[in-house]
Amino acid sequence: MPSKNSNKTKKVETGLDLTLLFGSLTRVKLLALMLQDYHKSYFVRELTRLLNLQINAIRRELDNLTTLNILKIDEGAKKHKDLKELFAGKPLITEKGANSTEKKYYKINEDCIFLEDLKNLFLKAKVFAKNNVFNNLEDYSEGILYAVLLGKFVNDHDGSIDLLVVGEVPAKKMERLVKDLEKQIGEEINYALMKEEEFAYRQQIVDKFLYKILENNKIVLIDKRNNKLFNGNSSELIA
């Protein structure tokens, strides 16, 4: 039917799947994390915990990205870490054999000639992802009272939630949507799916979790309380 074809076309135009582009989810997740702060260094096991990925996959992609001069080994980071642990009264661990690679610290190589291009690419992926969220939720818009993007979608990486949907959306549909988004931007997305009754109750008792969401910066996708729909403007922040 025509409507189905138009929906498919719209999703293709707005899609930017970084995992498909780079050919590795591990590579995308590493870059997404490290591009947030050029000055921060990470060691291998720290990255496995932060990204919830296998250590061998992390090692392989660190080697690849270092060979490409996108990352570099931070020689000063381990000395600084050892001093901090020494002053904290912790025993220093000497490096031996294969374990020595785990104590190497990696960071963004600021001399990489296409570093800004990479950063812009990841930023654009988030812009396209915003459109994709709306396009996917549009099919269920009749049952949705309120839907907003926040957290990492508005550059708030300390936020506890990135997507809130209030209304009737199949749980499996939401899971698929979130997994697709995570592949597109290379970051974990925290979301909440709430019934209208729960939303109304939380408002009534001035729930802290909901109050923070309503007060913080966000991008409104659907707000039937105020007859509002997302217009495709990624900079539309509601304070």
- Using CA atoms, how far apart are residues 39 and 36, in angstroms rounded to an integer? 9
Q: Give the strand pairing for 105-108 and 42-43.
A: antiparallel
**Cβ neighbours of residue 158 under 8 Å, at least 6 residues apart?**
none
Report all structural domains of the chain as residue ranges with CATH numbers, in order of start: 39-109 (no CATH), 119-229 (3.30.460)
Give the β-pairing of 163-167 and 191-194: parallel
pLDDT band at 196 (very low <50, low <70, confident <90, very high): very high
Judge whether residue 4 has pLDDT over 90.
no
Which pLDDT tens digit goes with each residue over 170-195? 888 889 889 888 888 888 899 999 99
For residue range 81-107, what is the model confidence (pLDDT) as tens digits?
554 544 455 554 444 444 444 578 999
Q: What are phi and psi of 192, to 5 degrees?
A: -135, 135
Helix (H) or strand (E) holding 125: helix 115-138
> 224 pLDDT band (50/70/90 cuts)?
confident
**In the block, residue with structure tokens 């396209």:** 128
Q: How many CA atoms lie within 13 A of 146 on its CB side?
A: 17
HSE-CB at 77 with a 13 A cutoff on CA atoms is: 14
User: What is the per-residue pLDDT for 192?
Assistant: 93
The neighbour count for residue 169, using CB atoms within 10 Å, is 19
What integer pLDDT is reported at residue 157 of this predicted model? 78
- Which of helix, strand or coil describes residue 70? coil
Q: Report the pLDDT value the prediction gives residue 231, as an integer from 0 to 100.
A: 55
pLDDT over threshold 60, residue 149? yes
Is pLDDT at 11 greater than 70 in this prediction?
no
pTM, full prediction: 0.70
Structure tokens at 24: 């590795």
Which two tokens mark 31?
Answer: 């870059």
Cα 119 off chain centre by: 14
Calculate mean pLDDT across residues 58-81. 86
Amino acid identity for residue 145 in this structure: L
Query: Packing angle between helix 55-67 and helix 25-34, nearest 10 degrees?
Result: 70
Q: Are 148 and 219 in contact (CB under 8 A)?
A: yes
